A and B are shown apart, each in its own frame.
Chain A
């Protein structure tokens, strides 16, 4: 407890100081203050981010059960993470989820964006239709709906039954439960699609005209013009989608009633963190898990940034 109290008092002035310094520098230009007035909510928001960050960093080195003061235990939480079978399991689940759903959903997003970019009438309507799922995808209601659709007597199995196929209980079978979540993720490709669509419109038409004159096929145009031109946007979407997928929580929490079941097959890393923190009262351990996840995501993002040199094309 004393540890976390230190963290708060240490962090709070730091945040305040950083807020104050630029303010003092610009005091001569009175009009600039308005910017800071508008930024106040952000600073307040930052406090709510920085303090818990600091607290969780301190707690990561403690044994803290939420009800009694934390006890400092050094690196013990981290060594335990290395040996925790369920951590390994949850990492496997999360990586599979990320590796399958990120490329597929980006491909789907790009595909639909290309289709919509061909000067359709009523484009805004289509755009809205495809975009809608991504607004709903992580909401509890849609996951509940999804659960019904894929249940033993759900729509999917009813449809399969027309063809004489007896479908499994998709969400209760450990072989298929994760696929249902991946499918849900792919279905919500709307957000990257809208960004792709905007990027496609930025590609100057003169390139295509020139290519057409030279007799390049559509596929050739796509490969040699479209892809390089929008590669920075693909990269942007890739980074965001990877980070998002690594942090997935809601889908599995709702689908499995917070257990990560059946048989841990949908145990996302974040869900396991939650279980440790709030069901097992191992908040110190959960904090350590959070920081490990931060490192993993940072590493993945770094890899993405290093790899981009080989495939992302910047016009300027």
Chain B
């Protein structure tokens, strides 16, 4: 960036920020005036936004084609992008009053919208939206007290995938993926690292990702977020978590600090795809995309430590929610579309489980026979889990995204040896209390 051209660019950026604020002010004025859920006579156009890649875009459009065939008069304008920019886009769309009708919501920020009454309480519209076939445990994932601000867009869990080909190549036996302990993982990983002469590392765990931390915290009997929205992990548990990040880097159980670029996290850029890692944690709905980009069979295992801990750590979750904006001008049609996404077999067959296992068990059973082996494997995995007693899954409390940011920063400090695990634990607790306590 040139010193000279710089001010213009930045001023424009500043102007953009200012404009956003001004637009928000303007929108605020008209907020309580109009905004009824009038559906136009003739045709309506719904705006549906979501995040994902181009593959998901293709299958989503296929699903919407089925919907449009069945509902002439409703057009759908879709927009999608990667999850990072999506977050920013959502914020600006809602702030400017230009709300989407149907949108994906992240679990760490759904309450930040819901608690500010930006999302429709779906429980008030169960006459249009049929949730009969959604099991109660699943419905709870989107429930805040008596209201439901989002329906899980698909069920998933975190899973530990192992590249079988690499394990065989280096002659390392894969432990039993249902009962393995954290120590089993590290010894498996060290063996791969050693056998490959550090060309391939056995694994890398992202200590910054809340979804991973949650499992570990639950295994100790604690909760990361208590039901009342406070932070529940103890200093000891967090110290243990960050200690693994330090000690296993020395033994070769984990790849060295900075070995993986923090930036490229999508399936086609991660360590598994580059074949510099033999195993990794992924969300199960990504199994198909991940297998395709790695190009070999991945064995899907549970997270280590599930049978050794005080209780189970894994839970059935959702990768994202479908929500309707409270200010949507086409609430009825949006509900119709949402009902279609939840309950229509043909539509779900077209889209497949790219967002996870369909929430309606009836739909999930109906589409299962036509799926490919990876999708079948991830559905079987979730089904297996659903028969067990697992911790409940809830939307993260308000401030969850700030906790995630703090955790990312702290985990990096630990990885690069700039902070001791015990100090990191203290720091995360104080940062989390601050984020969850205020605003």
Contact = CB atoms under 8 A, between A and B. Distances in A.
A and B from one complex: yes
B17 A273 contact: yes
A184 B94 CA distance: 35
A169 B258 contact: yes
Interface stretch (A49-57, A115-123, A217-225): A49-57
B257 interface: yes
Interface in B18-33: 18-22, 24-26, 28-29, 31
B168 interface: no
A241 B29 CA distance: 39
Interface string B403-427: 0010011101100101000000000
A263 B263 contact: no
A172 B262 contact: yes
A241 B4 contact: yes
A232 interface: no
Interface string B259-281: 11111100000000010000000
The interface residues of chain A, by DSSP majority, are classed as helix
B3 interface: yes
Interface size class of B (residues with CB under 8 A): 35 or more
The interface residues of chain B, by DSSP majority, are classed as helix
B91 interface: yes
A168 B85 CA distance: 27
B3 A283 contact: no
Given A59-B21, A134-B4, A279-B87, A175 B416 contact: yes
Contact of B10 (A68, A172, A175, A270): A270
A283 B95 contact: yes
Contact of A52 (B6, B7, B15, B84): B15
B2 interface: yes
A68 B27 CA distance: 10
Given A8-B26, A105-B3, A290-B18, 12 more contacts: A5-B28, A7-B25, A56-B18, A67-B95, A67-B113, A134-B5, A169-B258, A174-B416, A270-B13, A279-B87, A280-B402, A290-B14
30 contacts: A1-B31, A8-B25, A49-B18, A52-B17, A55-B25, A56-B18, A59-B25, A64-B24, A106-B3, A168-B258, A171-B261, A171-B263, A174-B418, A195-B4, A244-B4, A244-B5, A244-B6, A247-B10, A247-B11, A248-B1, A248-B10, A250-B1, A257-B263, A258-B88, A259-B408, A261-B262, A262-B262, A275-B405, A279-B87, A283-B21
Interface of A: 1, 4-5, 7-8, 48-49, 51-53, 55-56, 59, 63-70, 102, 105-106, 109, 133-135, 137-138, 147, 151-153, 168-169, 171-175, 184-185, 188-192, 194-195, 237, 240-241, 243-245, 247-251, 255-259, 261-264, 270, 273-275, 277-283, 286-287, 290
